[in-house]
Structure 1
């Protein structure tokens, strides 16, 4: 149970972030729900009301671009102001542009690395500075880190940076905070479906043992395990993909 705990979840307005917020609230955690775009404010506010009414926890919302340092500092400070402390920080923000390396523009490179790398750097930095002693940080990356494929070079490179920063943070922490990554397989969300055609989606499904995409409900229990029972685990990257990376015979 997470009674008395407080959690920051970025990208909490939809998909994996939203389901993580619901499951943590069910177990009693207070939650700061972060959203990136102003257009997501209303749906995030509605989620906060649902969590408060259904699970009797404290929930607040916070919007902003976490690649800006002042915004990231404010994110953590508001959580401490409202809840008194932060126990868990889960970074779910990400951007994927699916294009061949040679056709990406510098603007696309900067946009992806701002969201995926710079924002993650700031999130890791202020997690160490602001979390309670023996807290837990979870960074969402991707199973594409170990895939040999086309079209995802900048996304793979940016998520590799997240993994190595997280791994190093686990060695450098002075507060005994655990820092771990989870790398889901291709997920059954608009984050993927908006970038792939039906034939490609079917191909990705067939790479998994169960012949389907990864659902958010497959990943949330792993996040919960890491922060609640996985205290002896740090600096790790858990691939959760139902065999997506296993080579076929």
Structure 2
């Protein structure tokens, strides 16, 4: 049977664990050849590559810290050379640091901005150089772009609000070339970034569905945006939050 992404090539930043790994698995399962970057999780990256290859897919792992824009762009260029082009970019890499405004360090501000915002621009810039009409750029943002929800989240919320605004602008920039640009805004999701059982219980009470999301559910929305079915969707920030914002 033909798969929706047969013949397509993709790169996922921060793809060795959590939502990123789920997206890598889903895109590979849908037929794409997938490269993904990782910063430190070499063993997890190698295990993910081996799993995809064992299932008949194609994947390569490239070490690159998304805080280093030049390294990220070099990784994207490497993936495009390896695959002979690039059709899909998923800007997934992101970090979360929370602290009250009076104790939030400027170093932490700079690092979170570099990974959550600057890397999205740098990655999109590099990927767009390799893309033809039909290209897909997808960024994993957050519902905190719409509602911070908790004290100490101001900087993180700012970075995700910037992603939503940048998505609209990039959609205008790349639309004439037939490249779509969209963002996914997950709500609370059970990943290693959100692994405290105590916080899970509290967050479940805020969800219309009474549970946290699963990484595979976020990956399913990424797969839709990467597919031909989403050819008329661009400039959108799509919420997938179990009713957290309802």
The TM-score range, normalised by the shorter chain, is over 0.9
Q: Does 1:61 align with 2:50?
A: no
Match of 1:227 in 2: 226
Q: Does 1:184 align with 2:183?
A: no
Q: Distance in 2 between matches of 1:60 and 1:132?
A: 22
Cα deviation, residue 67, structure 1: 3.1
Match of 1:202 in 2: 201
1:51-110 deviations in Å (ceiling 9; x for gaps): 11212x321110112232321221121112111111111111001011112210111111
**Structure 1 vs Structure 2 CA RMSD:** 1.5
Q: Distance in 2 between matches of 1:182 and 1:189?
A: 16
Q: Distance in 1 between matches of 2:235 and 2:127?
A: 15
Q: Distance in 2 between matches of 1:109 and 1:148?
A: 16
Cα deviation, residue 161, structure 1: 1.1
Q: Distance in 1 between matches of 2:188 and 2:135?
A: 29
Aligned 8 A contact 2:167 2:237 in 1: no
Aligned 8 A contact 1:128 1:175 in 2: no
Match of 1:35 in 2: 38
Match of 1:2 in 2: 5
Structure 1 residue ranges without an equivalent (≥5): none
Match of 1:243 in 2: 243
The TM-score, its normalising length taken from structure 2, stands at: 0.92
Instruction: Show the 5 A alignment for 1:18-97.
Output: 18-37=21-40, 40-55=41-56, 57-97=57-97
Q: Distance in 1 between matches of 2:50 and 2:202?
A: 39
**Count of residue pairs the alignment pairs up:** 240
Q: Distance in 2 between matches of 1:5 and 1:133?
A: 13
Cα deviation, residue 148, structure 1: 4.5
Match of 1:145 in 2: 145
The TM-score, its normalising length taken from structure 1, stands at: 0.91
Aligned 8 A contact 2:89 2:124 in 1: no
Cα deviation, residue 24, structure 1: 1.4
Q: Distance in 2 between matches of 1:148 and 1:119?
A: 22
1:139-192 deviations in Å (ceiling 9; x for gaps): 001111111532200000011111211210000114211000000001111202
Q: Distance in 2 between matches of 1:16 and 1:206?
A: 22
Runs of 4+ that moved beyond 3 A: none
Q: Distance in 1 between matches of 2:8 and 2:194?
A: 32
Q: Distance in 1 between matches of 2:31 and 2:70?
A: 29
Structure 2 residue ranges without an equivalent (≥5): none
Q: Distance in 2 between matches of 1:46 and 1:206?
A: 35
Q: Distance in 1 between matches of 2:183 and 2:39?
A: 21
